[in-house]
Amino acid sequence: MSRDIPVEAETNHPDLWRAGFPWPRADSHKHARGRLGVVSGGPFRTGAARLAARAGLRVGAGLVRVLAPRDAAPILAPTLEAVMLDPFHSPDQLADLADSLDAVVIGPAAGLDEATVANLEALQTTGAALVVDADALSVFKGRPEALFDLIDRDDVLTPHEGEFERLFPGLLDQGREAAAREAARRAGCVVILKGHETLIAAPDGRLRLNPNGSPWLATAGTGDVLAGMIGGLLAQRMDSFDAASAAAWLHAEAAAAVGPGLIAEDLPDALPARLRALRG
């Protein structure tokens, strides 16, 4: 390990990544602010993609598209406003749609089947940075190397501890910090190990501990929002390690601002105030 990589985890704080946060310039337009795609699940599993897409839009991506299986598109169409919708009928068509995007989120309610694997394989052929979450992690249980072969340094894996165990069985026995760091090394990309104290690990050994976790995040859909936030920052060409760090911190700040009664749908709409405070 290089001498300039700290052995202990840094405490995640805006001072570590504020300088690289992607604020728009006076002459920015929507395409300059980044193009994000979110892959939807089937017709009865569209909510997760909507949460991720709205979060990506709120965190600053200039253009967000939900990429949906054809049978899910009629369900999504009446529910999307600023977020666009593109149906696809095959992995090849998904790759064509994603080819012009800067980042893509895949996994939330995607399905634990080979269609998800094929879609991830197709996305790997594009130039988009990938956020791989939820089902797109768990579907590789027992064959994690197949996943690692499909991702690169700019991509981000976002497991909670259950998903982490499926990809890295037994690694948590070393402790969360050592496990997160080793997972990022094996995967060759940024890994977020979610939890009360979320850890963000880079493949070069860097590790950050997020200090502001909120118990109000223990509700369905909040992970989908986090994945969308990371994707939105990646789409704006923020460094992957810093994008994951910034998203984790802002996600927790938004949760703290809402507090008791929080549901995942509240988080994207709590972001503008948090972003104003970050900028100001």
- Residue 130 amino acid letter: L
Q: Please tell me the distance from the alpha carbon of residue 140 to that of residue 135, in angstroms, as a whole number.
A: 9
Q: How do the domains of the chain map onto residue ranges?
A: 28-266
pLDDT tens column, 165-186: 999 999 999 999 999 999 999 9
How confident is the model at residue 32, as a pLDDT?
84
How confident is the model at residue 154, as a pLDDT?
95
pLDDT tens column, 99-137: 999 999 999 999 999 999 999 999 999 999 999 999 999
pLDDT tens column, 184-201: 999 999 999 999 999 999
Contact of 4 with 72, CB cutoff 8 Å: no
- pLDDT of residue 231 exceeding 90, the answer is yes
How confident is the model at residue 8, as a pLDDT?
84
How confident is the model at residue 5, as a pLDDT?
59
Q: Please tell me the distance from the alpha carbon of residue 151 to that of residue 133, in angstroms, as a whole number.
A: 13
Contacts of residue 134, defined as CB under 8 A and 6 or more positions apart, other chains included, come to 48, 107, 108, 109, 110, 158, 163, 223, 224, 227
Instruction: Check residue 238 and report its DSSP letter.
Output: -
Around Cβ 210, how many Cβ atoms within 10 Å?
24
Q: Which two tokens stand for residue 32?
A: 């300059």
Would the pTM of this model clear 0.85, i.e. be above it? yes
* Residue 193, SS3 per DSSP: strand
- Per-residue confidence at 245, pLDDT binned at 50, 70, 90? very high
How confident is the model at residue 200, as a pLDDT?
98
How confident is the model at residue 13, as a pLDDT?
97
How confident is the model at residue 2, as a pLDDT?
43
Q: Please tell me the distance from the alpha carbon of residue 140 to that of residue 151, in angstroms, as a whole number.
A: 13
* Residue 105, SS3 per DSSP: strand
The domain over range 28-266 is classified in CATH as 3.40.50.720: no
Instruction: Check residue 16 and report its DSSP letter.
Output: G
| Residue of 239, 57, 34 whose CA lies nearest to 156 | 239
- pLDDT of residue 1 exceeding 80, the answer is no
Contact of 40 with 65, CB cutoff 8 Å: no
Distances (CA, A) of 108 to 101, 111, 195, 228: 18, 8, 17, 10
Backbone angles phi, psi at 146, to 5 degrees: -65, -35
Query: What are the strands of the beta sheet with 10-11, ordered from one edge?
Result: 10-11, 207-209, 199-201, 190-193, 156-157, 129-132, 103-106, 35-39, 63-69, 84-88
* Residue 114, SS3 per DSSP: helix
Q: Please tell me the distance from the alpha carbon of residue 41 to that of residue 75, in angstroms, as a whole number.
A: 11
- Per-residue confidence at 31, pLDDT binned at 50, 70, 90? confident
- pLDDT of residue 243 exceeding 50, the answer is yes
- pLDDT of residue 16 exceeding 80, the answer is yes
pLDDT tens column, 59-89: 999 999 999 999 999 999 999 999 999 999 9
